[in-house]
Structure 1
Amino acid sequence: MNKCGLWGMVALLFIFQTFTSVARAEQGWPRTVQGANGAVTLQQPPQRIVSTSVTLTGSLLAIDAPVVASGATAPNSHLADGQGFFRQWSEVAQQRHLKRLYIGEPSAEAIAAEAPDLIIVSATGNDSAIKLVSQLSAIAPTLVINYDDKSWQEVVAELGRATGHEAQAAQRVQAFDAREAALKKAITLPPQPVSAMVWNGDGRAVNVWTGASAQGKLLQQLGFTLALPPADAQQGHSMGQRKDIIQLSGENLATNLTGKTFLLFAGDDKTAQSVLSNPFLAHHAAVTNHQVYALGIDTFRLDYYSASNLLARLEKLFVKS
């Protein structure tokens, strides 16, 4: 081999080694993760994660991230167990010995007492501790995740990157996507478009899921078409802060629900009966044609666990045996 050929091989080897080293550095630690509040640099894989968002805790559990404690919602409700953890992952939380930090209002003192090396905060929603981010950042690296404009798959991918559990996140997503694709081939869609919503009590207030929501994204991936309220009714985006819901209320509720089918998230058979018997909706096509379906109490927030349960319910409702 002549010198030109030898030096050429050496140069190629050097380039390959350099590229490999850079790739490993990008995949390894320290790493910088982009959150909704800016970039956060993590020196090593976190070992003690505290979640201030009960919504995001389920996604952390799904990818086997070392979450040791979490904020909670009101306990012993139709959504939550005795700890205030969502029922769809309650059993997993017990197996992992997940600790409840507080109910509702976040406590920086309780968070600090757990000696976290990563704190997870949601950007929106009732479980957001966004006002405490500066204070929490003095305790440990604090990552803000915005879940109101993402599918649950996008959320777990983001959390996987932050925790070093990319492989677990990818496995969950791939298995779910395969199941979803199989369901799409087998499903017989009800009359389209659909009003996908959360029916609150007597129907005086309704939250309609948009295409930006995890619920809306999942339905669209399955071939559903979302029915949105008229433009003049779309002013109720939770004071403009949230992209996933449109809030409806008042005497124009029936005309603002434009779907031929009603899909009731965070609802059961009693919820469906409440809709069917509501006098303001008595002449709505979805009601008169009995195209009203409850999709389960645990679908109020979608994570891997509740989304998997949702696929099972949709299969039961819309796949002909």
Structure 2
Amino acid sequence: MISILNYQVMDNLMRLPVLAILLCVTSLFKPAFAAEDSASWPRTLPTPQGQFTLAQPPQRIVSTSVTLSGTLLAINAPLIGSGATSRNSSVSDAQGFFTQWGEVAKARHVKPLYVSQPNAEAIAAEAPDLIVIAATGGDSALKLYDQLKTIAPVLVVDYGDKSWQALTLQLGHITGHEAEAKQVIAKFDQRVESLRSKITLPPQPTSAIVYYEDGRGMNIWTPASAQGELLKALGFTLAMPPASLQGSTSMGKRNDIIQLNGETMADGVTGNTLLLFAADEKTVPQVAKNPFLAHLSAVQHHDIFAMGNDTFRLDYYSASNMLSSIERQFTR
């Protein structure tokens, strides 16, 4: 959920057509962005570290967050280097970049600077004029903030409290690529609008989950998550755990995920359909066999669907893949 909106306002917005939502979100950003045109500099953006200002358009951006790198690529920002994750995994390629945008990064000669652990020396060697870091999450380099700001201006971005579209607008504004950001969002939202009218929803409400491989716990996506917002835009109704179980969050101060363990899964999963994120079809039978979940209506009626391995962190590329998965499974 966008930080400047409260939950009630967002609920009202989600009743509007998707393209109307885009117009509302864009207009809500105008006060912070000072209604600047593409030639207007300096630019200012509110961040978790306070007001951030750039005097001129960046030409050499380094991203320490593999999550944020995809959005920078989507708006054609001048990304020259990025932190990477473990190579050749279910979500990453041989460079340690996410599979959904790895080929784009390769074509644009984006350099993988390090794997997992941020390296200030590797970042400095690229002579960036802007360093982008995540405020929370496993790919946050916030602990190096003081060191990195001696190299170049450091933009701290919280991707856990907003949709990827809102994130795209923010990064488009501060890099001077707002036109590309709006084009990417408009293209995506047109596809959402079209898909919403084509699909037949499974039994509602829906629990959107990330299932742990050991079967001992899961994370529930909240309405504040990018995944939750996209599902709502497609017409899904999100099922939430009881209020007594909603105080547990994971991965820092994030409001997009509620963590459940084996003891609380049985009471925390309340949806008639289960959508599995960061999972492929091989995870479906694992969930169905979990003794903590066997009594659930979704399990008994086989209403369990995998959204794809690349859906844990959404950007334009992975969100597009998620739409393809939903279209394939729910178009009747």
* TM-score strictly above 0.5: yes
CA 1:239–1:147 in structure 2 vs 1: closer, same or farther (change >3 Å)?
Answer: closer
- Name the residue aligned to 1:148: 160
Q: Secondary structure at the match of 1:300?
A: coil
- Name the residue aligned to 2:46: 34
Structure 2 residue 309 is matched with structure 1 residue 265: no
* Contact 2:137–2:252 (Cα < 8 Å) also in 1: no
C-alpha displacement at 1:34, in angstroms?
2.2
* Contact 1:197–1:265 (Cα < 8 Å) also in 2: yes
* Contact 1:184–1:222 (Cα < 8 Å) also in 2: yes
Aligned-partner residue type, residue 67 of structure 2: T
CA 1:34–1:301 in structure 2 vs 1: closer, same or farther (change >3 Å)?
Answer: same
Aligned-partner residue type, residue 56 of structure 1: L
CA distance in 2 between counterparts of 1:32 and 1:138 reads 19
* Contact 1:299–1:307 (Cα < 8 Å) also in 2: yes
* Contact 2:61–2:129 (Cα < 8 Å) also in 1: yes
* Contact 1:295–1:310 (Cα < 8 Å) also in 2: yes
For residues 208-255 of structure 1, the C-alpha deviation after alignment (integer angstroms, 9 at most, x for no partner) is: 100111001100111111111111211211276111100100223122
C-alpha displacement at 1:26, in angstroms?
8.3
For residues 120-168 of structure 1, the C-alpha deviation after alignment (integer angstroms, 9 at most, x for no partner) is: 0111100001121122112111111111111111111100011111010
- Name the residue aligned to 1:315: 327
- Name the residue aligned to 1:186: 198
Range with greater deviation from structure 2 (33-42 or 263-272): 33-42
Identify the match of residue 112 of structure 1 among 114, 124, 133: 124
- Name the residue aligned to 1:129: 141
- Name the residue aligned to 1:274: 286
* Contact 2:45–2:51 (Cα < 8 Å) also in 1: yes
- Name the residue aligned to 2:18: none
CA distance in 2 between counterparts of 1:192 and 1:292 reads 12
Aligned-partner residue type, residue 165 of structure 1: H
- Name the residue aligned to 2:99: 87
C-alpha displacement at 1:27, in angstroms?
5.0
- Name the residue aligned to 1:17: none
* Contact 2:247–2:258 (Cα < 8 Å) also in 1: yes
C-alpha displacement at 1:38, in angstroms?
1.4
- Name the residue aligned to 1:220: 232
For residues 42-92 of structure 1, the C-alpha deviation after alignment (integer angstroms, 9 at most, x for no partner) is: 121101000000000000000100000001111111111111110000110
Q: Which structure would you say has the larger Rg?
A: 1
More helix by share: 1
* Contact 1:202–1:274 (Cα < 8 Å) also in 2: no
Aligned residues: 299
| Correspondence 1:1-40 to 2 at 5 A | 27-40=39-52
Identify the match of residue 52 of structure 1 among 45, 64, 78: 64
CA 1:170–1:26 in structure 2 vs 1: closer, same or farther (change >3 Å)?
Answer: closer
Q: Which runs of 5+ in 1 are unaligned?
A: 1-21
CA distance in 1 between counterparts of 2:182 and 2:50 reads 24
C-alpha displacement at 1:259, in angstroms?
0.7
CA 1:107–1:291 in structure 2 vs 1: closer, same or farther (change >3 Å)?
Answer: same
* Contact 2:38–2:176 (Cα < 8 Å) also in 1: no
* Contact 1:50–1:111 (Cα < 8 Å) also in 2: yes
Q: Secondary structure at the match of 1:198?
A: strand
CA distance in 2 between counterparts of 1:51 and 1:133 reads 13
- Name the residue aligned to 2:24: none
Aligned-partner residue type, residue 172 of structure 1: V
CA distance in 2 between counterparts of 1:118 and 1:168 reads 19
- Structure number with greater CO (CA < 8 Å, separation at least 6) is 2
Aligned-partner residue type, residue 186 of structure 1: K
CA distance in 2 between counterparts of 1:81 and 1:209 reads 26
